Structure 1
Amino acid sequence: MRTTLTRAAALATAAVAALAVTTPARAGERPWTGTWAAAVQQPSPGGMPGSANWSEAGFADHSVRQVVRLSTGGAKLRIRLSNRYGTTPLTVTGVTVGKAGDGAAVRPLTLRPVTFGHGRGTVIPAGREAVSDAVALPTAALDRLSVTLYVRGSTGPASFHDIASATVYRARGDHRFDPRPRAFTETSSSWYYLTGVDVLGDAGSVVTFGDSVTDGTGSTQDADNRYPDQLAERLAASGSRLGVLNAGLSGNRLLNDSACFGEKATARFQRDVLDRPGVRSVIVMAGINDITYPLMDTPCSRPNPAVTAEQIIEGHRALIRAARARGVKVIGGTIMPFKGNPWLYPEDNAQTLAMERTRDAVNQWIRSGGEYDAVADFERVLADPADPDRLRPEYNTRDGQEGDWLHPNDAGLDAMARAIDLATL
């Protein structure tokens, strides 16, 4: 045990050193605030049973239209595109933005071209990201923005975000300036290349960082009911201009990478949290997949070593130290119940009871360890009082059917958003 814990501590210390590297702001640089974000991952068939997407095939002579809801507004905006997992340069022929209508429709008078270095297109080297020039399109909190990318040549496999809980549209040919939806006959439930939208201003933002529950798996498609979305609604109703960025990644783990579920949280924290503009605070909820993946043995779950509460806590400490090194306030979210889930909790046996003890130990540390600046006690608002290891039944049902006892429904996600003290952000 001593050898295992020493190695975990050493890895956490190395992660802190890597995460704490900062890039100083340039003098006179205009302030920007993140208003929408998605964490990208390497191309794959997708991690959910029966899932399919366009990431492995990529695009050629396609227009891809993606609709996102902004958490806060501003007089100008800019977008971020990622080729992090590309193996060759990505040539984007052109991009437009506009206020979204129904489905793939765009409000015509709002369509604007997007430039990069004052050029209509851009070439993004493999492993890199591109940030556009400012676009004069005034927006308000909770506006829906349509972003249309056109690629003339073949892209090869695409950096993407698997589970968007939103519909993405594709058309053959160049339809950047076409506000009508009829050409966009193909759909997907993943985001491609688009990793962020920023607005001009210094209000700042909060990042929600975690796995599938943060990502919004189980929320109603196209309804913007993920818990970060509902947190954004609370902030907007309160008069706050704070942006909310969703850095959740379904299936993601704190301590191990996955071929389907992205790089481990300690490796992606810099990119998906600290490198975002205007970040003031981050809400961390991580560890459920580290605890439960030893029950599974698939290409998506490997490597799947058993982990201890101490190892998970060391991973959390790495994130806390990295955030503090950048002056970012860090809030710990407790890990919710999962009893009854058919693939993570097949029965009450010694292994599942040991996993529950690990979850309880991590949650107790989050609540009382004093290392987080504040706590969002998601477990307590979601747990069934009659069986604290299980979700409340009213947070599990969808369309009158039993859910998976792991991913809360829209009502449960709203309860999570309401569990956060806005003053801590």
Structure 2
Amino acid sequence: MARRVLSVFLAVVLGLGLTAPPALANQGLWTATWSAAMQRPTVGFAPNWSEKGFDDQTVRQVVRTSVGGASARVRLSNVFGAKPLRIKGATIARTSEGAAVRPGSVRPLTFRLSRSVEIPVGGELVSDPAPLLVAPLERLTVTLYLAEPTGPATAHVFGTTTTYRASGDHVADLGASAFTEKTTSWFYLSGVEVAGAPRRDGVVTFGDSITDGAAATVDGFTTYPDELAERLGGKRPVLNTGIGGNRVLNDSTCLGERAGKRFQRDVLDRPGVRSVIVLEGINDIGMSEVPGEEPCVLPNPRVSAAELIAGHLELVKRAHAKGIRVIGATMLPFKGAGYFTERGEAVRDEVNTWIRTSGVYDAVLDLDRVVADPADPDSLRPAYDSGDRLHPNDTGYRAMAAAVDLATL
């Protein structure tokens, strides 16, 4: 009964756009409903706007929630900025189609009651609550007006959703006509959070491009974290903190900080997290087998199974110290992929065997066996293959989500 009364009270207070009393500030009333892992500005393997940044431009970004709440706020990041980030104006609204938003749903975002804000280099902040009732599995649009030159922008490079850009200030526009440029990256937006009763049942999916959703249908919300949120029916948060090309042991200028370095920001600091699914290591193996001087891949020293296991052990230890359950996912087959070698396959097999049998993880999600070709277990099942022999297609991602034992979460 007390929890229900508190929930109703918050719905009223936050619905009016007021700040919750200090006594309530640390009671877990905010839950992350969507997230993106932030990266350094880079072109990487796909064109985007992060290296040049923005100047007198409006950026409109679409996300899909996993759970709903009585009010919403956004989390903005300048963690990789070279100068303070000045945001002149911002809004949140329900998405219509493309860059258009639904009439009557546009809410201004404020920061300590101001419409503008400056985020210091290396900083991150959350907005004040916006009086917008959020439904589970709903598309929301966050719009930022960047009046001054930003310099290179903190971003998430390999998004699976279209982001739009317009010249000038269009934060309050309902229509899409001003938004003439498109990309599939997110900029500065690292999270959306919703208010409600205290909860701690969120699931973080942590990994590389297979978690990120490479080869999934753009704007289709068919990544395996999206499909898992569908399975949960909008009743539990599912947060995607995958980064394309990410590794357990080595940083990259293009492909994100190594897993252990970003684990605090992308998992442990997210509000309301109960469990994390770790799917990492295939890029450590594959990239260490690739000769050459591709800057995005370097450094790429040869890695052993023992080194990868040590990296996984560090993640488990840190999660357990925060009371977070850890589910270990076995690495998917990659025979036929551009960086496949027999030596790399031997390392994958050894690490997967350790994940299955060591007992270190609280539970195991054996994705290797879920998506493997029965006729050739070192390869992806053809029906699940996007075509590059490494990343699943939409059907494959759906099969991965379907394999999650919900009781382990």
TM-score by length of 2: 0.92
Deviation at 1:242, TM superposition (A): 1.1
| Contact kept in structure 1, 2:289 and 2:302, CA below 8 Å | no
Residue type matched to 1:291 in 2? I
Show the counterpart of 2:278. 284
Alpha-carbon distance in structure 1 between the residues aligned to 2:395 and 2:162 = 21
Which residue of structure 1 lines up, in the alignment, with residue 394 of structure 2? Answer: 410
2:131 and 2:24 mapped to 1: Cα distance? Answer: 20
Distance 1:141 1:344 in 2: 39
Q: Name the SS of the counterpart of 1:136 in structure 2.
A: coil
Kept in 1: contact 2:248–2:260 (CA 8 A)? yes
The within-5 A match list for 1:4-403 is: 28-29=24-25, 30=27, 31-46=29-44, 48=45, 51-201=46-196, 202-203=198-199, 204-236=201-233, 241-296=235-290, 297=292, 298-341=294-337, 343-345=338-340, 352-397=341-386, 403=387
Q: Tell me the amino acid that sits aligned with residue 284 of structure 1.
A: V
The answer to whether the Cα contact below 8 Å between 2:289 and 2:344 also exists between their aligned partners in 1 is: no
For each residue in 1:6-37, what CA deviation from the matched residue of structure 2 results, as whole angstroms up to 9, or x when unmatched?
xxxxxxxxxxxxxxxxxxxx853251111000
1:103-153 per-position Cα deviation (integer Å, ceiling 9, x unaligned): 000002100000111111110000010111111101111100000000111
Q: Mark the runs of 5 or more structure 2 residues left unpaired by the alignment.
A: 1-21
Amino acid at match of 1:84: V
Aligned to 1:153, the other structure's residue is in SS state coil
Computed over aligned residues only, the root mean square deviation of the Cα atoms, in angstroms, reads 1.0
Cα deviation per residue 1:54-101 (whole Å; 9 max; x = unaligned)?
001000010000000000100101100000011110000011000001
Whole-Å Cα distance in 1 between the matches of residues 89 and 325 of structure 2?
Answer: 37
Q: What's the secondary structure of 1:60's corresponding residue?
A: coil
Give, as a single letter, the amino acid of the residue that structure 1 aligns with 2:235: R
The share of aligned pairs that are identical, in percent, is 56
CA offset at residue 295 of structure 1?
2.6
Letter aligned with residue 40 of structure 2: Q
Give 5+ residue unaligned stretches, structure 1: 1-25, 346-351, 398-402
Aligned residue for 1:4?
Answer: none
Query: CA offsets, 1:221-269, max 9 Å, x none?
Result: 1100000000000001xxx621000000000000000010011000000
Which amino acid is 1:408 matched to? P
| In 2, Cα distance between equivalents of 1:148 and 1:281 | 30
Aligned pairs, number: 382
d(CA) in 2 for partners of 1:176, 1:353: 52
Work out the CA distance in 1 between the residues paired with 2:313 and 2:360. 8
TM-score for both structures, normalised by structure 1: 0.89
CA distance in 1, matches of 2:31, 2:235: 10
* CA–CA distance in structure 2, aligned partners of residues 377 and 128 of structure 1: 37
- Once residues 418 and 27 of structure 1 are traced to their aligned partners in structure 2, the CA distance between those partners, rounded to angstroms, is 41
Give the secondary structure class of the aligned counterpart of 1:272: helix
Matched residues in 2 for 1:419 and 1:156: separation? 43
Q: Is the 8 A contact 2:99 2:164 kept in 1?
A: yes
Alignment partner, residue 7 of structure 2 = none
Counterpart amino acid of residue 40 in structure 1: M
Deviation >2 Å, runs of 4+: 201-204
